[in-house]
Chains A and B, each alone.
Chain A
Amino acid sequence: MSPAQRVAAMLELTNLRSQHGKVPHLAVEQLRIGTGMMVGVAGPNGSGKSTLLRAIGGELSVTGDILFYQRSLRHWDPRDRARHLAALPQFSQIGFSFTADEIVAMGMIPLSLSRQEGKRQVAALMKDTDCHHLMGRVFPSLSGGEKQRVHLARVLLQLSQATQPPLLVLDEPTSAQDLKQQHRILALTRSLCRQRGYAVIAVLHDLNHVLRYCDHCVLMKEGRISAQGKPGDVLTQDTIEAHWEYRPQLAGHMESIPVFV
């Protein structure tokens, strides 16, 4: 790791462990995420990807250190933390008939925005996430993909008043999306990294997405990080076979990025 990256590390996990009975279901030696980095987490089902994200979000009781801007996550003021760290839920069920824009507006809870500015931001972010046409629609009636995009708009609003570049945690952000939306969402999050220094850590099942959009790949197996680095180095026919017990074909290269099928 270069000295520059060492200085810029926004999130640092060291010796993270979480027990569930006798079996450790998460054992991470080290993971650093710097500002402007888009990190893809890959691994077979049950390898601990979601668990890792939940640990980062503080939803899991773990031993070890989670430093966010050199300060333990536990010591952050909850409101301040909310402005700098947001997570997109994988599933969402809401029993009340909130409208899509009301759900997005809940991202304002930790912020201080005037009513008008809030409205403007909600509309702008719903445009960015391609769900502007859902305004006024009742949330429970939306499709899975639409719900996910509404939530994405909400978490982006939540991070809109961050004083330092924020961290966005995405658990399978493309799982419910069609082909166009998958690429839209990944392009949007990558532009946030490039232009505004956001750090993104996303669980992705499509390895071609990791290769194409991510700066860093974390490969997981049995609760451990088995490899990490540049996606092109980490994801090869051999490592994929070792993790998924399936040997993919190399279909070719697109803009010098390998494409697996």
Chain B
Amino acid sequence: MRLPVLICGIALVAMIILGSLLSLLQGALDLPPTECLLALCDTLFGTHWSTLDDYQRVVVTELRLPRLVLSVFVGAMLAQCGAVMQGLFRNPLADPGIIGVSSGAAVGAIVAIAIFPASIGPLAVPVSAFVAGLLTTMLVYSLSRSKQGTSVLVLLLAGVAISAFAGATIGFISYFSNDEKLRQLSLWQMGSLAGASQVNLWLGFFAVVALAVAFQRKAFALNALVLGECEARYLGINVEALKRQLIILVAVGVGVSVAYAGIIGFIGLVVPHLVRLVTGPDHRSLIPLSALCGALLLLVADLMARLVVQPAELPVGLVTALLGAPFFLALLIQQRRQWS
């Protein structure tokens, strides 16, 4: 019933490459496909083959290319964080946002958009989102700690409460904002990859690779945690340290994603679920395959966001939610049948 991990991995990489090419060639501006590829070669290898004019060249290499790269990074980051959160909570329905990082980051971004003067510069929103996301996670985590250790249940409930509070704060700030800022606020909350050309993608690259390496080192221990905390301790795992490290890593991963692209839902929830159905729940394969699958999904979602209503475009978070929510419900219904 399960498919081999290696084959799935190769298939996903192939589909990502295919999707990337498609994403590079398609858009509001109609360009000849070969010319687009030549322009890409020119940028990557310093050749001079393309006959595109400067404006067209910019569209391909400075708008489409960074955007698809960012979609791959953000998708991979969110999906592997989702896989880790579900393992940590021993619940296949957990979401990376559950520890409060997304809602905290949203408050940070919204404060930056609505209150900070524009003169601070373009980094104000992402940095403020990242910092607020991390601080919120710290708060949720410290609330869940007691002498007996960290309670996952309290962590979850504290995350829910803090998220509700963050939602109210966002509503409060929105209520007192003018129309222009309000539009900016709501667009940010829907998530978008449109800002890719103005950000440093190297940071995203390092974040996604560092996260993948760190998670892989913890994957076997995460399997043990699925048995239960006591059993993991008997297996020689320092459970408290593991939980702390994983929560920090997830907060950083989701924080970076949110800073880059706003709130993009359902990738972190749906992707690990899907991968588990196909190749099984072992975290040593689940985490890397989730990263690939998440990258592919967000790449495709962003392509759709760009193409469906051209020349305008939809926020990508809207697309992932529109597709993800019904899909997730379908999974739930299927599993409900299985369980009953």
Contacts and interface: CB of A to CB of B under 8 A. Distances in A.
Interface of A: 57-59, 78-83, 85-87, 89, 92-99, 102-103, 106-107, 109-110, 155, 158
Given A85-B234, A92-B231, A110-B235, 14 more contacts: A57-B234, A59-B230, A78-B237, A82-B236, A94-B90, A94-B226, A94-B227, A95-B92, A96-B281, A97-B281, A106-B224, A109-B221, A109-B237, A110-B236
Contacts of B230: 57, 59, 87, 89
Contacts of B223: 98, 106, 109
Given A57-B230, A59-B230, A97 B235 contact: no
Contact of A96 (B220, B236, B237, B276): B276
Interface of B: 90-92, 220-221, 223-224, 226-228, 230-231, 233-238, 276, 280-282
A98 B281 contact: yes
Nearest to B148: A61
B235 A92 contact: no
19 contacts: A57-B233, A59-B230, A59-B233, A78-B236, A79-B236, A81-B236, A83-B236, A86-B234, A87-B231, A94-B90, A94-B227, A95-B92, A98-B226, A102-B281, A103-B227, A106-B235, A107-B235, A109-B223, A109-B224
A106 B225 CA distance: 10
A152 to B, nearest CB: 13
A115 to B, nearest CB: 12
B27 to A, nearest CB: 40
A89 B280 CA distance: 24
Which of A82, A89, A95 is most buried by chain B, counting CB atoms within 10 A of its CB? Answer: A95
Which of B90, B92, B223 is most buried by chain A, counting CB atoms within 10 A of its CB? Answer: B223
A125 to B, nearest CB: 16
A106 B236 contact: no
A57 B231 CA distance: 10
Contacts of A79: 236
B238 A78 contact: yes
A96 B226 CA distance: 8
B235 A109 contact: yes
A110 B220 CA distance: 10
B92 A96 contact: yes
B90 A95 contact: yes
Contacts of B234: 57, 82, 85-87, 155, 158
Contact of B236 (A95, A102, A109, A155): A109
A185 B40 CA distance: 66
A99 B226 CA distance: 13
Nearest to A169: B234
Nearest to A110: B236
A89 B231 contact: yes
A92 B227 contact: yes
A251 B159 CA distance: 60
5 closest A-B pairs by CB: A82-B236, A96-B281, A110-B236, A79-B236, A78-B236
Contacts of B236: 78-83, 109-110
Which of B220, B227, B276 is most buried by chain A, counting CB atoms within 10 A of its CB? Answer: B227
A60 to B, nearest CB: 10
Nearest to B220: A109
B271 to A, nearest CB: 15
A98 B282 contact: yes
Nearest to B239: A78
Contacts of B231: 87, 89, 92
A103 B282 CA distance: 10
Contacts of B227: 89, 92, 94, 103, 106
Contacts of A58: 233
Contacts of A94: 90, 226-227
A92 to B, nearest CB: 7
A95 B226 CA distance: 8
A197 to B, nearest CB: 20
Nearest to A108: B220
B170 to A, nearest CB: 32
A59 B221 CA distance: 18
Contacts of B237: 78, 109
Contacts of B224: 106, 109
A102 B233 CA distance: 18
Nearest to B231: A89
A78 B240 CA distance: 13
B226 A102 contact: no
Contacts of B90: 94-96
B90 to A, nearest CB: 5
Contacts of A107: 235
B91 A95 contact: yes
A106 B281 CA distance: 13
A246 B281 CA distance: 48
A103 B280 CA distance: 12
Contacts of A80: 236
A89 B233 CA distance: 12
Nearest to B286: A96
Nearest to B283: A96
A81 B92 CA distance: 31
Nearest to B230: A59
Nearest to B87: A96
A80 B234 CA distance: 11
Nearest to B232: A109
Which of B228, B230, B235 is most buried by chain A, counting CB atoms within 10 A of its CB? Answer: B235
